[in-house]
């Protein structure tokens, strides 16, 4: 779920807000309204501290940030919501968790709050807003960060004349950014080489692989497979609330085919491992991969001689899409202050600062800002234009996985059968059938779908 930049890109680079300090000047600490925000430990910690400072400068509020390990965040937040303890005023939700928290009354709708702030709501990329903020006709908060997936690749390899000629001779069509998953598979096969083989005319000093995959025992394996499943016209849940076994089996078999062209470590890593493989000069491309990792991927250019990175939409114009939603706890003692905080962090001013530091914004006005399309900003925001294209290509997209109140529980279960199949412990068919059985148990039958 979490997509953490493992570098220090967001440290001192993020400045606190320069907005007027009128409220802060009129406010003494004793008068500040206390609110608590539960978020991911280590997740842009420096950036969040600066954004909090910017909010406190404009409001007579004191924000206490509670950093929780991502593996524990969902469970801890659920415990506090069920107990109505008021421990957290603002919670951080992954896309699959929104419906559960809204359906069970854990969070407050913010529809009325944003009634006179429609411009702010409309600035959120519409495709992203549909998946993260909306449920059963209400607005439940704002996304402050997106990990939407696309395609990251070694542009120097795909554009090398020697490699292009060899590829054309073998496959009968031009080497380039793949537009279909079949082309992506061919590229993965083509660039898989052994030590001593030539790559761009030079002998390799170590094995080289055609693709990096997140096949380790982590939730990201289902994120990676989602784009392929969706491009087949299927989903993890049908409209009737059941797992489409045949479609999942096909997507799993496609994934198993790609594993032949991935480093052996694919079975142990998630996104950070794939980025390490890219920066170490081991892989030619990603699969359906989180574009927030672009600032990590582009470091390959300084670490691997001759490397030049590229970013594009995933093949078939389908990829995992989502973000982290800030929502207000129904048991908050200070819901108005909490809503103000959500609106601030998800607003243009804070999102601009976030983006300048290397954060991946959710706002159209930020993603399209000319200052982020310059050569100087490329290492941090070179993926912004691609995100805009993805949001446009996937306009109107919904996933039933994100619209069932059991979505989070399903999501946290999916990796078990999928990774077991990737590891060769069970077949693709068995993985699909096991997933169907587990989902039926979680939902007590067909899962309810509420949009």
pLDDT surpasses 80 at 5: no
What is residue 367's DSSP assignment? H
According to DSSP, the residues that pair with 364 across neighbouring strands are none
For 119, residues 6+ apart whose C-beta sits below 8 A from its C-beta are none
Instruction: Write down how long the chain is.
Output: 451
Residues 173 and 295 in one domain: yes
Q: Examine residue 122 and state whether it is found in any structural domain, yes or no.
A: yes
Q: Examine residue 443 and state whether it is found in any structural domain, yes or no.
A: no
pTM: 0.92
Q: Assess contact for 419 and 264: CB atoms under 8 A.
A: no
Which tens digits make up the pLDDT trace of 187-203?
A: 999 999 999 999 999 99
Q: In whole angstroms, how far apart are CA 332 and each of 85, 104, 157?
A: 8, 15, 53
Which of 363, 393, 423 delimits the end of a domain? 393
Q: Examine residue 363 and state whether it is found in any structural domain, yes or no.
A: yes
Predicted confidence band at 17 (pLDDT cuts at 50, 70, 90)?
A: very low
Residues 28 and 86 in one domain: yes
What is residue 86's DSSP assignment? -
The pLDDT mean for the chain works out to 92
Predicted confidence band at 26 (pLDDT cuts at 50, 70, 90)?
A: confident
Residues 196 and 250 in one domain: yes
Which of 369, 393, 417 delimits the end of a domain? 393
Radius of gyration of the chain (CA): 22
Residues 67 and 142 in one domain: yes
Q: Assess contact for 307 and 281: CB atoms under 8 A.
A: yes
Residues 49 and 188 in one domain: no
Which tens digits make up the pLDDT trace of 366-393?
A: 999 999 999 999 999 999 999 999 999 9
Domain of 292, CATH number, reads 3.40.190.10
pLDDT surpasses 90 at 18: no
According to DSSP, the residues that pair with 309 across neighbouring strands are 154
Give the separation between CA 192 and CA 258, rounded to whole angstroms: 11
Domain count, the chain: 2
Residues 142 and 153 in one domain: no
Which tens digits make up the pLDDT trace of 40-65?
A: 887 566 777 888 999 999 999 999 99
Average of pLDDT values for 138-167? 97
pLDDT surpasses 80 at 13: no
Q: Examine residue 359 and state whether it is found in any structural domain, yes or no.
A: yes
Nearest CA to 16 out of 61, 46, 60 is that of: 46
Give the separation between CA 343 and CA 363, rounded to whole angstroms: 12
Which tens digits make up the pLDDT trace of 276-309?
A: 999 999 999 999 999 999 999 999 999 999 999 9
Residues 292 and 350 in one domain: no
Predicted confidence band at 88 (pLDDT cuts at 50, 70, 90)?
A: very high
Q: Which domain holds residue 367?
A: 22-148+322-393
Residues 169 and 230 in one domain: yes
Residues 53 and 88 in one domain: yes
Least confident of 21-25, 164-168, 244-248, 349-353: 21-25
Residues 128 and 227 in one domain: no
What are the counts of helices (DSSP H) followed by strands (DSSP E) for the chain? 21, 12
Q: Examine residue 307 and state whether it is found in any structural domain, yes or no.
A: yes
Q: Examine residue 414 and state whether it is found in any structural domain, yes or no.
A: no
- Residue 14's pLDDT is 40
Give the separation between CA 104 and CA 450, rounded to whole angstroms: 13
Give the separation between CA 378 and CA 368, rounded to whole angstroms: 13
């Amino acid at each position: 779920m979490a997509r953490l930049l493992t570098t220090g890109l967001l440290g001192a680079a993020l400045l606190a807000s320069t907005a007027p300090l009128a409220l802060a000047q009129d406010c003494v600490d004793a008068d500040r309204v206390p609110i608590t925000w539960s978020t991911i430990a280590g997740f842009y910690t420096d950036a969040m501290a600066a954004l909090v400072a910017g909010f406190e400068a404009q409001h007579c509020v004191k924000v206490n940030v509670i950093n929780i390990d991502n593996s524990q965040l969902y469970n801890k937040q659920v415990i506090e919501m069920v107990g109505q303890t008021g421990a957290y005023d603002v919670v951080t939700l992954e896309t699959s968790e929104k419906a559960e928290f809204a359906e069970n009354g854990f969070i407050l709708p913010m529809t009325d709050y944003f009634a006179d702030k429609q411009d702010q709501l409309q600035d959120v990329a519409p495709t992203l807003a549909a998946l993260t903020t909306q449920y059963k006709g209400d607005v439940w908060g704002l996304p402050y960060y997106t990990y939407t997936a696309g395609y990251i690749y070694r542009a120097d390899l795909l554009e090398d004349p020697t490699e292009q000629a060899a590829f054309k001779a073998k496959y009968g069509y031009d080497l380039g950014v793949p537009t279909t998953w079949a082309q992506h598979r061919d590229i993965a096969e083509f660039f898989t080489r052994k030590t001593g083989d030539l790559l761009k005319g030079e002998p390799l000093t170590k094995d080289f692989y055609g693709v990096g995959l997140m096949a380790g025992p982590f939730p990201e394996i289902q994120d990676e497979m989602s784009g392929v499943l969706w491009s087949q016209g299927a989903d993890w849940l049908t409209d009737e609330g059941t797992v489409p076994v045949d479609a999942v089996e096909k997507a799993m078999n496609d994934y198993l085919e790609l594993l032949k062209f991935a480093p052996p470590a694919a079975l142990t890593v998630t996104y950070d491992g794939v980025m390490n493989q890219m920066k170490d000069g081991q892989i030619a491309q990603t699969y359906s991969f989180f574009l927030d990792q672009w600032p990590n991927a582009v470091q390959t250019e300084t670490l691997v001689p001759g490397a030049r990175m590229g970013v594009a939409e995933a093949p078939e114009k389908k990829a995992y899409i989502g973000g982290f939603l800030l929502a207000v706890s129904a048991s908050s003692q200070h819901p108005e202050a909490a809503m103000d905080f959500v609106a601030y962090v998800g607003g243009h001013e804070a999102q601009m600062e976030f983006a300048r530091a290397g954060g991946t914004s959710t706002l159209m006005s930020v993603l399209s800002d000319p200052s982020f399309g310059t050569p100087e900003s490329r290492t941090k925001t070179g993926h912004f234009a691609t995100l805009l294209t993805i949001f446009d290509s996937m306009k109107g997209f919904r996933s039933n996985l994100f619209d069932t109140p059991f979505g989070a529980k399903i999501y946290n279960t999916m990796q078990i059968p999928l990774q077991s199949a990737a590891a060769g412990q069970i077949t693709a068919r068995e993985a699909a059938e096991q997933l169907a059985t587990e989902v039926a148990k979680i939902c007590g039958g067909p899962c309810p779908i509420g949009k």
